[in-house]
Each structure stands twice: as C-alpha cells, then as structure tokens.
Amino acid sequence: MLKSNYRVQDVIDYSGLEQDGLYLEGTGAMVLDHIDRVAYAVESDRTNPIALERFCTHFNFEPMVFAAEDDKGTSIYHTNVLMCVGTNFALIGTEMITDTARRAEVVSRLQSTGRDVIELSNAQVSSFAGNAIELMGKDGPLLALSQTAYDVLTEEQRERISASATLLPLAIPTLELAGGSVRCTIAGLHLSPRH
C-alpha cells in the first residue's frame, strides 16, 4: 500500500536483529526531531544501542540517549511516554531524566533549535501528556493528544502549545487502561506522495 501511494526508495529491514535479542521499538523507543535530525531515546531493553546506532546511520539522525525513571524509581521503557517534539515546541518530563547533566544537555539541545520547551510534571506524564504527536492538518499543525492528557495540562501550557498548533484532544480511555495513549496509535509518514 505504501509503495502504491508514496515514493518508497528503500526498505530497510532490522528483523534479523531479533534472533540476537536486539530490539528497537520504533515510534515508542525513539522520539525523532525530523528538523534537527536528533533521535531522542531512553535507555531500555526496548532500545538496543546497536540497533539505535544502525537506525541513526541509515536515516541520518544523531542519537541522544538518556536514562529516565518515574517518581517510584521504575525505569521508563518508551521515550514517547515522556516527550513529544513538535515543530516549534517540545513537551518533556525533565524530572524523569535521572542524570542532571544529561537532563541539561537534552533541554539545551531542544532550546538550541528555537523550540519552546514545555516541562511536564511526573503527574502529567503519568496522565499521558507526553504521549502526543504533532500532525499536519489542512489548516496547519495539530497536536493530537488524549482527552486525559489535555485535561492535566495547565492553561499556560495549553496557550504555549496553541501558539503554534491546534490542540486536538481525543477520548481513548480504553487504550489508556492498557498503558498507551494517542502517540502509541499513530505512525508518521515522511514519504513523498505519488501523483
């Protein structure tokens, strides 16, 4: 279907890495900054450094890896749980990045791109505020997020996001019972359409 509707030049298959127990769980493991070409990734068994390096080499991204934990000391296993990178803003649960020097590097890198870095509390991350994705709508950028996530954002945070994207809250309570949210349900297409 993708080849019939989009220009697909290469298909890169990492499935052979599975036999060696090397995993890179795509949209969960990495949050990609498509403008500045940075792959933000939380250290976990779902983000193998060899597979990540291979991905970054193939797709011209710089890996930026960091450790993260929730307020109970449990490791975060997917990067998209705690951060979302949009065109003009980034949402990030900075408190969860365990190494303070690395935390400062991540925030600095995001700020160096001119983005408004909107910090999320642990409670907001637990309510899926980091699990959002910027999409391009016919009238401009949209931030797709769950109603749960929208409800925990402060008015100031909503205003800062709204400066560059229309908030699009979606009610998905059943999915959230299983621990996922809007970002988990959407894969981005960065291919040129066929005409």
Digit-by-digit pLDDT tens for the chain (195 residues) are 888 899 988 888 999 999 999 999 887 899 999 999 999 999 998 999 999 999 999 999 999 999 999 999 999 989 999 999 999 999 999 999 999 999 999 999 999 999 999 999 999 999 999 999 999 999 999 999 999 999 999 999 999 999 999 999 999 999 899 888 999 888 888 888 888
pLDDT at residue number 157: 98
Separation CA 96–CA 92 (nearest Å) = 9
pLDDT at residue number 9: 86
pLDDT at residue number 148: 97
Whether pTM > 0.75 for this model: the answer is: yes
Separation CA 34–CA 153 (nearest Å) = 25
Judging by DSSP bridges, how do beta strands 140-146 and 30-33 pair with one another? Answer: unpaired
pLDDT at residue number 195: 83
Order of strands across the sheet that contains 140-146: 133-137, 140-146, 166-170
Judging by DSSP bridges, how do beta strands 89-92 and 83-85 pair with one another? Answer: antiparallel
Superfamily the domain 14-185 falls into:
L-arginine/glycine Amidinotransferase; Chain A (3.75.10.10)
pLDDT at residue number 87: 96
pLDDT at residue number 185: 87
Judging by DSSP bridges, how do beta strands 30-33 and 166-170 pair with one another? Answer: unpaired
